[in-house]
Amino acid sequence: MTQKTLAPLLGMRILFADDDDDTADSMAAILGTYFQAVLVAADGEQALSFYQRAAPDVVLLDIDMPSPNGLEVARRIREADRDIPIGILTCHDGRDTLMSVIPLGLADYLMKPVSTATLQGFLERSVAQLEQRGRLRLRLASGVDYHPQEEKIVGPEGEISLTANERNFLRYMLARRGKVVECERLCRQLAGPTGDELSIQALRNLVHRLRGKIGRDAILSHKDLGYRLP
């Protein structure tokens, strides 16, 4: 698996539900390396509440959690959204269980304990489903859409041309969306092929040009601190 394969998930949210605290903690830590936000629910009721309030992009549910169980939560989510990728975690591989999840159109059915390869497979299939169903794009605050797979911006009048440094800036900031990133860190991240860091003034010029292309509201300045993508 390449970093580019899962790059689209970096600006997205996943709803993860499991009533086992140890599993929830370990899985949330792993999922946090792929997603902008991990919404962790301890039971079905909380999972449905998070789904309704936070509109996650991907869902991963433990089948045996209480009030209601993972299958019922998946059914309710599927009734509201036919396309969202849903995965089910289970300790059971019986035929009855397998048959019961078929109508849900799952992205994956994961056996516990979940290996890294199995989890990555689920995430890859989720990316494929999102792309196939036209949901693999991120809406920036200025109203333009960022397409992570192609690393392009599309506005009302079509595709907006970006330089290599502008693409690198957006990729890095989207992975940290909602957080202030220090100018010094951005200058190091955007170092050229010779390893020379970008100057603060060059960074300001880059942000100014990029705002002119994608809208001022897409990139917020925090004086003496850095920049943030809302």
Range 119-141 burial, b when 16+ CB lie within 10 A, else e: bebbbbebbebbeeeeebbbebb
The 10s digit of each residue's pLDDT in 135-173 is 777 788 898 988 876 788 998 889 999 999 999 899 888
Strand arrangement of the beta sheet that strand 86-90 belongs to: 37-41, 13-17, 58-62, 86-90, 108-111
Asked if residue 16 and residue 112 are part of one domain, the reply reads yes
The 10s digit of each residue's pLDDT in 110-119 is 888 899 899 9
Q: For residue 47, which of 25, 65, 23 has the smallest C-alpha distance?
A: 65
Task: Give the domain-ending residue among 86, 106, 132.
Answer: 132
pLDDT: which is higher, 6 or 93: 6
Structurally, the chain folds into a number of domains equal to: 2
- The CATH number of the domain holding residue 89 is 3.40.50.2300
Pick from 44-48, 115-119, 195-199: least confident: 195-199
Asked if residue 99 and residue 10 are part of one domain, the reply reads yes
Asked if residue 174 and residue 125 are part of one domain, the reply reads no
Asked if residue 145 and residue 222 are part of one domain, the reply reads yes
Asked if residue 189 and residue 145 are part of one domain, the reply reads yes
Query: Does the pLDDT of residue 127 top 50, yes or no?
Result: yes
Where residue 96 falls among pLDDT bands split at 50, 70, 90?
A: low
Domain extent for 198: 138-228
Asked if residue 182 and residue 209 are part of one domain, the reply reads yes
Give the mean pLDDT of 126-137: 82
Task: Give the domain-ending residue among 76, 102, 132.
Answer: 132
Asked if residue 122 and residue 187 are part of one domain, the reply reads no
Asked if residue 224 and residue 179 are part of one domain, the reply reads yes
Output helix, strand, coil percentages for the chain, rounded to the nearest 5.
45, 20, 35
Where residue 176 falls among pLDDT bands split at 50, 70, 90?
A: confident
Q: What is the pLDDT of residue 101?
A: 63
Task: Give the domain-ending residue among 96, 117, 132.
Answer: 132
Q: What pTM value is reported for the model? A: 0.65
Asked if residue 165 and residue 110 are part of one domain, the reply reads no
Asked if residue 162 and residue 114 are part of one domain, the reply reads no
- The CATH number of the domain holding residue 154 is 1.10.10.10
pLDDT: which is higher, 55 or 74: 74
Asked if residue 178 and residue 211 are part of one domain, the reply reads yes
